[in-house]
Structure 1
């Protein structure tokens, strides 16, 4: 454990510099920072996305602590997270925990990086990507930072195999609209849009807009309805599940006709290789739909 006196003195010295907490990321195809020479560092994660990467690649005895969301309804690794310590993401807690590497979610502050560095703790900001090939290339980079290069390479190979197996050789799949409980969607520039395409669908929102996570206006869906709806995250918010579908007449009618395709929210809360499971699930549903439309 780092001495508490040194911790307090170090934090005071850094804060006196007036460091601004400007958020930065490593997404958009940029390479993650190079690995440090230390093999298998002790690791702490401060957010769900970091938890997922750590639980997928690190040894259990490497993991000092995870975020409080590690075993929540949006985590695909809730079982693996059981019994592991949690943290609140505070600098004092992370430094006192004596981690060698802190994995943050999508964007962390300059202040956090500099304070951690002052105590010899490396930080890995996972950034974000909306491209499946970029995601594949990110896997061995994260594995290397966690001291698990071979595991990272193997996970990349498995991920690419699953994505290739889900591809539609015909290339002209059903048109779908993506819908969440809050009414949001997934247009161009989102990992969900990339997953829908990889599973052989044509994403209505990519064609009509808007880009990003905003939703398609209901009037537009009424005038030009998609062949099916892909819905997600209703399962992570149990009280809203039936109510959300029920209060949208378009979705309610689609559900009655059997053209609503639910995807568990835990399969794509982050750009992470577990999204290949969502792609595989959707590819199977596409084959069912195409058979029904013939």
Structure 2
């Protein structure tokens, strides 16, 4: 009898010990999770337009202490309304230092000496590369979300990006299109704009002409090559430079007014043609609508 009692108590003690260890493990995991959440950066500064867009899409404004002054320009910033309630900066190292951020976001082409000085001052600065494809945009979102502690939000955006991949090569009719920027600049293969056109079943005139990532085309060439669609970045601030006056040239506007069946000219929000970020998803919706209207016209 005594043997069985000893065995019973020994077994009970072992079970209690196992439960106790289990509770300690659970508590340690909970504390680790709380610690991870507490380690989310709470004073974030962005000094680049593209990182502005990523930051404002992923993080609540309470954790953002400053974005670049370009973030308030509704022509090039999808989140300009959100930026109006945030402090702006002009990307100078001394002003960034005085803001006492725990994280600074810069772009690949942010001023190198500014990035170097910010780093020398001991601030935590992360440089985000340019996204020249949907895959690159996806990678940027994943990496930045991990730093910001916003993986869940990023996954929602990425699932929508992944849906866009499935649209590639599903169209039988592929009209020719060109995105024509100021000074005649055009986006060729190896750019996000090129992939945007491909995803929605367009052939990029820049590729047809043998241009690289960034090429140039004049008005005469556009008229002679007769693309189906010319997309012109739209500026809500009017035409602040002489280089944009070509978009008002009679040779172009007369074709637009005459509604020539071989040419459609569309003004497109410039923020949809810049920076690989969540705002591109809205640009894809607009491009899908343009394609539908274009084919209906044909």
Larger Rg: 2
Q: 2:211 is matched with which residue? A: 210
Deviation at 1:250, TM superposition (A): 3.7
Q: 1:97 is matched with which residue? A: 99
Provide Cα deviations, 1:87-133, integer angstroms capped at 9, x if missing partner: 12111111121111111123245544443334442112111121112
Deviation at 1:222, TM superposition (A): 3.1
Q: Provide the C-alpha distance between the structure 1 equivalents of 2:219 and 2:118, rounded to a whole number of angstroms.
A: 47
Instruction: Give the direction of change, closer, same or farther, for the CA distance of 1:164–1:190 in structure 2 (3 Å limit).
Output: closer
Q: 1:271 is matched with which residue? A: 276
Q: Provide the C-alpha distance between the structure 1 equivalents of 2:87 and 2:240, rounded to a whole number of angstroms.
A: 29
Deviation at 1:251, TM superposition (A): 5.2
Instruction: Give the direction of change, closer, same or farther, for the CA distance of 1:56–1:105 in structure 2 (3 Å limit).
Output: same
Query: TM-score by structure 2 length?
Result: 0.77
Q: 1:284 is matched with which residue? A: 289
Provide Cα deviations, 1:214-250, integer angstroms capped at 9, x if missing partner: 3224443333211121111344544679954321514
Q: 1:162-201 alignment to 2 at 5 Å? A: 163-164=164-165, 169-201=170-202
Instruction: Give the direction of change, closer, same or farther, for the CA distance of 1:78–1:110 in structure 2 (3 Å limit).
Output: closer
Instruction: Give the direction of change, closer, same or farther, for the CA distance of 1:239–1:111 in structure 2 (3 Å limit).
Output: closer
Q: Provide the C-alpha distance between the structure 2 equivalents of 1:41 and 1:145, rounded to a whole number of angstroms.
A: 12
Instruction: Give the direction of change, closer, same or farther, for the CA distance of 1:171–1:86 in structure 2 (3 Å limit).
Output: same
Q: 2:133 is matched with which residue? A: 131
Q: 1:6-85 alignment to 2 at 5 Å? A: 38-72=39-73, 73-85=75-87
What CA RMSD, in Å, does the superposition of the two structures yield over aligned residues?
2.8
Provide Cα deviations, 1:158-178, integer angstroms capped at 9, x if missing partner: 3333x2576562243211122
Deviates more, 1:92-101 or 1:238-247: 238-247
Deviates more, 1:105-114 or 1:191-200: 105-114
Deviation at 1:201, TM superposition (A): 0.7
Secondary structure of the residue aligned to 2:214 is coil
Q: 1:260 is matched with which residue? A: 265
Structure with bigger helix share is 2
Q: Provide the C-alpha distance between the structure 1 equivalents of 2:250 and 2:276, rounded to a whole number of angstroms.
A: 29
Provide Cα deviations, 1:190-219, integer angstroms capped at 9, x if missing partner: 221111111211111112132233322444
Q: 2:146 is matched with which residue? A: 144
Instruction: Give the direction of change, closer, same or farther, for the CA distance of 1:45–1:220 in structure 2 (3 Å limit).
Output: same
Q: Provide the C-alpha distance between the structure 1 equivalents of 2:247 and 2:220, rounded to a whole number of angstroms.
A: 17
Secondary structure of the residue aligned to 1:200 is coil
Provide Cα deviations, 1:11-42, integer angstroms capped at 9, x if missing partner: xxxxxxxxxxxxxxxxxxxxxxxx9x932342
Q: Provide the C-alpha distance between the structure 1 equivalents of 2:45 and 2:280, rounded to a whole number of angstroms.
A: 23
Number of residue-to-residue matches in the alignment: 258
User: Contact conserved, 1:131 with 1:194, CA < 8 A, in 2?
Assistant: yes
Q: 1:29 is matched with which residue? A: none
Unpaired segments ≥5 residues, structure 1: 1-34
Query: TM-score by structure 1 length?
Result: 0.77
Instruction: Give the direction of change, closer, same or farther, for the CA distance of 1:88–1:205 in structure 2 (3 Å limit).
Output: same
Deviates more, 1:40-49 or 1:241-250: 241-250
Q: Provide the C-alpha distance between the structure 2 equivalents of 1:224 and 1:110, rounded to a whole number of angstroms.
A: 40
Q: 1:153 is matched with which residue? A: 155
Q: 1:117 is matched with which residue? A: 119
User: Contact conserved, 2:206 with 2:215, CA < 8 A, in 1?
Assistant: no
Deviation at 1:271, TM superposition (A): 1.8
Secondary structure of the residue aligned to 2:125 is strand
Q: Provide the C-alpha distance between the structure 1 equivalents of 2:132 and 2:257, rounded to a whole number of angstroms.
A: 29
